Structure 1
Amino acid sequence: MKIQEIREIIKLVDGSSIDEFSYEFEGVKVKMKKNGSGQIQQTSTSTDQAPQAQKTVETNAPAPAKEPQVETLVSSEGLEVSTDNNTDYHKILSPMVGTFYESPSPDEAPYVQVGTKVSADHVVCIVEAMKLFNEIEAEVDGEIAEILVKDGQLVEYGQPLFLVKAN
């Protein structure tokens, strides 16, 4: 992993509402955690080198505005949403790692809300990755049943973004 990639991840985490981020790929582990003062502590460990080799970088950033606590609906184990185990729900998944945006710009209305009727080619959100804004489509005809992420949140590849009650 290159230092520029780590810096880009730090910027994404800093600009998002997540408090903790961890990533592991080919023996390299990166873990970032925001503390109460808005600082990001980043620890990178490579298992190819010495087992105890660690590097810590601290970045000063303004403390994020306090938002009401919202229960996390998605975990690394899977989806934790009460859908009454109904198989009529289709998950719209993130096709990439990036930042989720619910509207085309901050001063415009969201693409969809809970209850919005969508068609397969209806744009439901944008995922921004490396300065590219990628429109995400509904993939199925139906109605938005649940929005699983918040505007500005960092999302992972394959992470569920919406539940759609398919027609």
Structure 2
Amino acid sequence: MGMETKQVKEIIEIFEASNLSHMELEEGNLKIRLEKPTGPAQSIPVSQIVHTQVEPKPIEDENKIEITSPLVGTFYRAKSPKDKPYVSVGDIVHKGDVVCMVEAMKTMNEIQSDQEGIVKEICVEDSSMVEYGQVLIVLGEIE
């Protein structure tokens, strides 16, 4: 029997609260690798970063569509460093198109758009950690 989800969440919470920049844990065939961004941004709690992105936007943006992360993990714009990004600003995205990947515990999860739109903004840098519910990509209506 492997680790339970509750144990994994506790490990992540302990890691988040610590001053460690990365941590690896192995139990049987389960491997957990956690990393925090390093540098000046490290001292800013994630909740503050999220709040700065939620400032009121001009009215023209009220039709924007946000694609959020369904899990905690590492955000990737392309399948591999050699591949071109799934989407770039200005691209038209259709429902069901893969727009990025989020890796969690060595599993690559393709993130699909649930709506049609044009890519207005990519909110996360490639290979950075993302939180559950964090906005990854903003789409606007196709003109």
Query: Alignment length, in residue pairs?
Result: 117
Once residues 103 and 154 of structure 1 are traced to their aligned partners in structure 2, the CA distance between those partners, rounded to angstroms, is 15
Structure 2 unmatched ranges of 5 or more: 1-5, 24-37, 40-45
Match of 1:105 among 69, 80, 84: 80
Partner of 2:111: 136
TM-score under structure 1 normalisation?
A: 0.58
Aligned residue type for 1:151:
D
Q: Where do residues 1-167 of structure 1 align in structure 2 (5 Å cutoff)?
A: 2=7, 6=11, 23=13, 30-33=16-19, 40=21, 75-77=49-51, 79-80=53-54, 83-85=57-59, 86-167=61-142
Query: Cα RMSD over matched residues?
Result: 3.4
In the alignment, is the contact (CA less than 8 A) between 1:95 and 1:157 conserved in 2?
A: yes
In the alignment, the residues of structure 2 paired with residue 115 and residue 162 of structure 1 have an alpha-carbon distance, to the nearest angstrom, of 12
Q: Secondary structure at the match of 2:17?
A: strand
Q: Residues 81 and 145 (structure 1 numbering): CA distance in 2 closer, same or farther, change over 3 Å?
A: farther
TM-score (norm 2): 0.67
Q: Which ranges in structure 1 are unaligned for 5 or more consecutive residues?
A: 10-22, 34-38, 43-63, 66-71
Give the deviation of 1:32 after TM superposition. Answer: 3.6
Question: Post-superposition shift, 1:78?
Answer: 6.3
Measured at CA, do residues 2 and 142 of structure 1 come closer, stay the same or move farther in structure 2, by a change above 3 Å? closer
Greater gyration radius: 1
The 3 A distance-change label for structure 1 pair 109 and 154 is: same
> Contact conserved, 1:140 with 1:166, CA < 8 A, in 2?
no
Shift of 1:41: 8.6
**Structure 1 residues 128 and 82: CA distance shift in structure 2, 3 A:** same
SS in structure 2 of the partner of residue 75 of structure 1:
helix
In 1, the alpha carbon distance for the partners of 2:118 and 2:83 equals 21
- Higher percent of residues as strand: 1
